[in-house]
Amino acid sequence: MAGFAVDLLGLRVFIVCVGLVGNVFLILAIIQTKLTRVKSFELFLLGLAAANLEEIIIVIAIDVVVLQASSDAAVDTWSCRSLKFLTKFGEIASILFTVLISVFRQQKLRDAEKRANQPICLDAIRSAWMASGVCVLLAALLSLPIFFIVPEGAAGNATSNATGNVSGCPLDFFQCSEDHCPAVNGVYKYLFLLLCNVLPLAVVTVTGCLILAVLLGQRAKVTPASGVRRSGGSSLHRSTVAVLAAMGLFQVDWTLYLILELTGIPTDFPFWAEAEFLISFSYTSISPYVYGMGNNLFSLRNFRKK
């Protein structure tokens, strides 16, 4: 069992390092074009990468604080709540920016031939900034209940780690013991799952199906004789495939998370905190590479500039 825990820790460190590098390079690749020239899609990618990076940094901070608390003193409740708020804020912002990217790409492809070069609403950089601001504001509002949840460690055994608590700072804020589980914890848990997992999954799934239908329709129209795509169309096609791949990864990860949460496995699974981390951070760490390579942001030319 100890060896398994060490293996999970090594995998955790590896995923964090991969995520740090990928999100930092995605941010640098977008910023180097100067913010005045950034298009709406790149702005949404910038928001996604920033949210991913913030979540990774805060999780590292939590690990450091918990490690220090396990050897010195218990983590005070305010610090624990603040760190968990920032973690959830980054997680929710990442989810919302993914939804925004999927909706934006679906809108761009819808009736593209009839619309020709006419822009959509989100093409305007002011609208893109407003949509990004709404995502950030919603992420903050949906994370605020963290400050009103009663941590399990505060209810009694503050040093117990049997259910994922370390020095009064539970790794899973939703989790609580059977003999003491405040109603606010359960209400927030299911509202969070509905608003931040189920609805985004539904939107991403629907838009993904619509995007796939458009791509298949375009492919059916291309014949061997006249099927040479223009470079602009080819780059858009590659970018759209990358968006679809990232959406697929998003669907797999958060569907697994929902299944584990709704089946009650976290209360019986001793390594639930690590499993939750691996599920959520696989998207956080891998998605910047998918978007970066699909949109030519991770090209050799860009790396040389770094």
Note the pTM of the prediction, 2 decimals: 0.84
Q: Which residues contact 143 (CB under 8 A, 6 or more apart)?
A: 85, 86, 88, 89, 92
Q: Could you tell me the residue ranges of all domains in the chain?
A: 2-219+231-305
The hierarchical CATH code for the domain 2-219+231-305 is 1.20.1070.10
Using one digit for the tens of pLDDT, what is the confidence trace for 10-59?
Answer: 778 888 899 999 999 999 888 876 556 778 899 999 999 999 999 999 88
Q: Which residue has the tokens 């496995």?
A: 265
Mean pLDDT in residue range 160-167? 41
Structural contact between residues 81 and 137, judged by C-beta atoms closer than 8 angstroms: no
Structure tokens at 246: 């990232």
Mean pLDDT of the chain: 77
Q: Which residues contact 2 (CB under 8 A, 6 or more apart)?
A: none
DSSP string computed for 39-83:
-HHHHHHHHHHHHHHHHHHHHHHHHHHHHHHHHS-PPPHHHHHHH
Beta bridge partners of 180: 177
Using one digit for the tens of pLDDT, what is the confidence trace for 223-267?
Answer: 554 555 444 557 777 888 899 999 999 999 999 888 887 876 555
d(CA 50, CA 54): 6
Q: How far is CA 283 from CA 56, 221, 262, 286, in A?
A: 12, 33, 20, 5
User: Backbone phi, then psi, for 165, in 5-degree steps?
Assistant: -85, 140
